[in-house]
Amino acid sequence: MPTNKDFGSRAHHLSQVRGPLCAGIDPHGALLQHWGLDDDLAGAERFAMTIVEATAGSCAFIKPQSAFYERFGSGGVALLERVIAESRKAGALVILDVKRGDIGSTMAAYAQAYLDPASPLAVDAITVSPFLGTGSLQPAFDLANAHGKGLFVLARTSNPEGKQVQMAKRRDGKSVAQGIIDEVNEHNGDAEPMGSFGIVMGATIGACASEGEARLRESTYGITHTTVRQRDTAHDLSQFNGPILVPGMGAQGGRPSDLPRVLGAATNFAIPSYSRQIAQPGPAVASIRSAVEALQEECRAAMGE
């Protein structure tokens, strides 16, 4: 079981021991079909618990996407509770991908649902959305501090549509994404070895945006591109002192070699997240484990570990 230290310390230690990779457990209908399972609660349970068995004892981070469980109603939420419990029992840190964001008492209730140790859905960290202003997330920051939990705030996401909002310029000249990065980092201060409050930065952005976005568009929409686009990012992570969740890896087009180009000096804080690429070799547990081991080594090499 994870210790009672703050999330940043636990995440840093466990990534050093097990590697930086985050295993997503997303019972997507297409993946269930790929495994020969029905797209129902029983199929989702077989899928999710198989991946827990294959990854939770060796990966530092497990990331269930809540929506893929919620779609099955109360039974799906109960399955999510089991995935969380079994993953934490195996020593992994659980990052629940819920992207919550609201104001006042509603945000406080969301925080209590996932960050209060007394909750059946309690995890080590959650993803949150700052669209209502980073300050609206204060109840989550407060509860996370109280219980040694973490947050990952959406900053620059892997979907191409995100650029329209995230790269818009504020009155101070910063992009919206950079403003979020800086505001989140204020909560980390000089924490050692790193703070508990992170950001979400998609793998398909950065200096390799033209290639990465082309891969993303091709895998998602079937659109191919050959035109080299002008670099579309201007984020500065040189002072950032927290974990960086990096989705968009694998099936969405991101590669381990993209990490230094996207994150620069903050590459060592990366938590590269894979879901489909881990699940596709299944349902054999040994095949999933082999895929995880190979990806873990690729990520370590790219991050200079």
Q: Which two tokens stand for residue 272?
A: 């590269």
CB 123 within 8 Å of CB 152 = no
292-300 contact pairs (CB < 8 A, 24+): 292/21, 292/23, 292/54, 292/55, 292/58, 292/59, 293/58, 295/21, 295/250, 295/256, 296/19, 296/20, 296/21, 296/59, 298/256, 299/19, 299/20, 299/21, 299/256, 299/259, 299/270, 299/272, 300/19, 300/20
**Selected catalytic residue, list 99, 163, 169, 174:** 99
In the chain, the largest separation of any two C-alpha atoms, in whole Å, equals: 53
Residue 163 among the catalytic residues = no
Distance CA 87, CA 253 (A): 27
Q: What burial class does residue 4 get, using C-beta atoms within 10 Å of its C-beta: 0-12 exposed, 13-18 middle, 19+ buried?
A: exposed
Question: What positions carry a catalytic annotation?
Answer: 99
